Amino acid sequence: MTASLSSQAPHAPSQATPMSFSGRGGEFLKMLVAGSLFQIPTFGFYRFWLTTKLRRHLWANTQIDGESFEYTGTGKELLIGFLIALAILGPLYIAIFVLSFALEEQAAFASFPLFLILYVLAHFGSYRARRYRATRTVFRGVRFWMKGSGWAYAFRAILWDAANLLTLGLALPWAMAYLERYRMRHTYFGSVQGDFTGTGWTLFKRGWWLWAVSWIALGGTIAVSFHLAETFPEHEMTFAGIGPLFAFPLLALLWPIMMAIFTRWHIDGLRIGGAAVASRLGTGTFYGLFFKVLFSSLGYAIAFGIVFTLGAFALGMFFQEALLDMQAGEWTSGAVVVGFLCAVAYLVFLLGFGIIQRYFLVRGLWAAIVNTTSVSNLRSLDSAVASGQPAGGMGEGLADALDFSVGL
């Protein structure tokens, strides 16, 4: 630690050591663009190595008191975990398909068990994915690690989901506090145990009005849509169907406020032994990232549309016969080439949105959080010694196979 901390030992717990992020946006963007494009010829399997590179960049450029974090995971581990997850999920999908085919009239009922199983596995996978990332995170040569059962966590998460459903989301702050406390009390930095001191009541007091405004907006638009449907019966289905959609712009504008409140509350509650974390993150940061993503996506869509239109015009000049064959349903060699180029263009279009989202909402948010976070009583971690065992990547592979968001 610094000399000032040593000379003021009695006040050490109250002193804060700021975190910092030194990663360059251009370097991250270069890795992101190259890695995303390389997913096309590798049929998407390169994403495991891309994720690993991005994590190593973010971890290595995150410092506390001049010391950086280290990410030790590999793309091979993520791939193996994904393949194991597919081996687990494959028979489930096949069994439900056969059952649905055999019980054609009860197809909807037959798919319910699959949904229930996948729902439980999603919670299980999210816990195991976090466990994997923890054991691949190293600071000062000491690894983080987690214990606890993914099934026990899934059971608790399901109960809280039921409570949220019954209370129309009012129980969400207490659910978040309870589940994060469970995760953190099973998280260790070497021999030092973690904890979470945030409470559901604290989060509720900060954000209850967002819950109220959201339901008022949704209920109001539904009431208006039904009134318009009764007033104009010839357009009844139209008003009843799209009326509630008018609440979404308001909900989208409230999203940055909600995320700012939750993120500050979450960071302020984190503890590792005697070390406490505090955040100065402002709501303006989230609005800035929100509008950057929005306008960047619109700009990209417009630019891609122009390029695609010009390309399609040029393509039509060189492949007129092939286009006519495609319209006639005949797949000649020229028609196959045109179809392949259109498929590649579609993939590039989708990858572009993924790049925008990852650059701003992953890299941008990571940098903003790190640069506004400080750690008090960092010296208490000096007593940590290596402990724990590395976790396998099956949990993260399961979350990936289920398309369940587990973060970067």
Integer Rg of the chain from CA: 25
Distance CA 304, CA 339 (A): 18
| DSSP code at position 194 | E
pLDDT digits (tens, 9 = 90+) for 20-41: 999 999 999 999 999 999 998 9
Give the E-state strand segments of 40-95 in sequence order.
Answer: 62-64, 67-71
Q: Does the pLDDT at position 398 exceed 90?
A: no
Q: Compute CA distances 37 → 180, 276, 309, whole Å.
A: 36, 41, 21
Structural domain includes residue 347: no
The boundaries of the domain holding residue 213 are 198-268
Helix ranges (H only) for 145-247 are 150-166, 172-185, 200-231, 236-242
Q: Does the pLDDT at position 65 exceed 50?
A: yes
Structural domain includes residue 226: yes
Domain count for the chain, please give it. Answer: 1
Structural domain includes residue 252: yes
Structural domain includes residue 221: yes
Structural domain includes residue 219: yes
Contact in structure between 38 and 53 (CB atoms under 8 Å):
no
Structural domain includes residue 255: yes
pLDDT digits (tens, 9 = 90+) for 77-130: 999 989 988 888 888 878 777 776 666 555 556 667 778 888 999 999 999 999
Structural domain includes residue 213: yes
Q: Which long-range contacts (CB under 8 A, 24 or more apart) does 171-180 make?
A: 172/211, 173/200, 173/201, 173/202, 173/203, 173/204, 173/207, 174/200, 174/201, 174/204, 175/200, 176/200, 176/203, 176/262, 176/266, 177/203, 177/269, 179/153, 180/266, 180/269
How many residues are listed for the chain in this entry?
Answer: 408
Structural domain includes residue 150: no
pTM over 0.85, yes/no: yes
397 pLDDT tier (thresholds 50, 70, 90): confident
